[in-house]
Amino acid sequence: MQAYIIPTGAKSLDQLRRVEKPDLRPGPGQVLIRVRAASLNYRDQMVIAGTYFRGPVNRDTIPLSDGAGEVIAVGDGVTRFKAGDRVAGTFFQTRPDGPPTAARASLGGPLDGALTEQMVLYEDGVVALPRDLSFEEGACLPCAAVTAWNALFCTGRCVRPGDNVLVLGTGGVSMFALQFARSAGARVLATSSNDEKLQRVRAMGASEGINYKRTPEWNAEVMKATGGRGVDCVVEVGGAGTLARSYQSIASGGKIVLIGVLTGVAGDTSPYAMMLKGGNLHGVFVGTREMFEQMNAAIELNHIKPVIDKVFPFDAARDAYLHQASGNFMGKVVIRI
């Protein structure tokens, strides 16, 4: 089978290599998946640059956490799937025969990921795709979509009809949050540095679009747009560089779900602005298989389609990385395999 690897100790996209590897076979409790598509997340840029939490990879690693495909074989004891099923892997994987306290490991680092023609996973780390989604669309779900679902509906107070939700930027998590929040009857405000992107998010149902380059104090615009009340939920993907303004943007009793570090880890992160508002700050790191399955049911019911900016062929995986790293995209960047 063909696959891409990040070599041990790699710190640059220039080191991404395409290799030939032996075909895989499923063991007991495992499913063999013919991967048809994979998508990129910001963490994948950090992994290949050697700047993710654990530093450079300590072994040759197949990258990308998000992939979708079809089951082509199952191992002994598998009951949840059969050959021909359309599936995606969950972001976190655990051995079903391991101790209950075993640490979860993620695909694409430290575990081998989805930028490959074949992948073997335990059946507990696999979910069925929503019926109406293509493999390319299904490959967008495991990290970004589950993170957005967890942030809105599982962590802290659940977003409800009539709530105000603020999404920062137009990347994968933010676009899924926009779609999920709107389907739940919430009002959505969005920020971007690009007026064309803001036009597109308004067309998707956002009531307000704020250009944060033209309006650096975008928190004031949020308060103005909500009649001085603020938002009930901020989907915070910026990190330290935007957190202070997110504090200023929430309503009394509102929540901020801290997801990303797109602006880095240095900045004003003092939480004191939250005190008078009785606000809540929650860290969110993707989610569980159960959340994934609940989300998929909502995607089917509401006919939600992931926002895909561009699909690259397998031969052009490096170009897909470069396109995502440029920031000139909206939603998800996908590689067809």
Looking at residue 220, its pLDDT comes to: 97
Residue 294 lies in a domain: no
Residue 301 lies in a domain: no
168 with 256, same domain: the answer is yes
Residue 293 lies in a domain: no
152 with 131, same domain: the answer is no
Which tokens belong to 166?
């603020």
80 with 196, same domain: the answer is no
Domain range for 156 is: 144-283
| Helix residue spans in the chain (DSSP H) | 42-49, 135-138, 146-149, 172-183, 195-203, 218-225, 240-249, 289-302, 317-326
52 with 129, same domain: the answer is yes
Please name which of 299, 290, 189, 295 lies closest in space to residue 246, comparing C-alpha atoms.
Answer: 189
Contact in structure between 48 and 63 (CB atoms under 8 Å): yes
Residue 316 lies in a domain: yes
121 with 150, same domain: the answer is no
105 with 154, same domain: the answer is no
DSSP 15: G
Residue 300 lies in a domain: no
Looking at residue 238, its pLDDT comes to: 87
Distances (CA, A) of 92 to 108, 138, 285, 288: 10, 17, 10, 8
The total domain count for the chain is 2
41 with 101, same domain: the answer is yes
Looking at residue 100, its pLDDT comes to: 64
3-state secondary structure of 254: strand
Residue ranges for the chain with pLDDT beneath 70: 99-102, 261-268
Q: Which CATH number goes with the domain that contains 192?
A: 3.40.50.720
**Strands 164-168, 231-236: pairing kind:** parallel
The pTM score is: 0.95
131 with 158, same domain: the answer is no
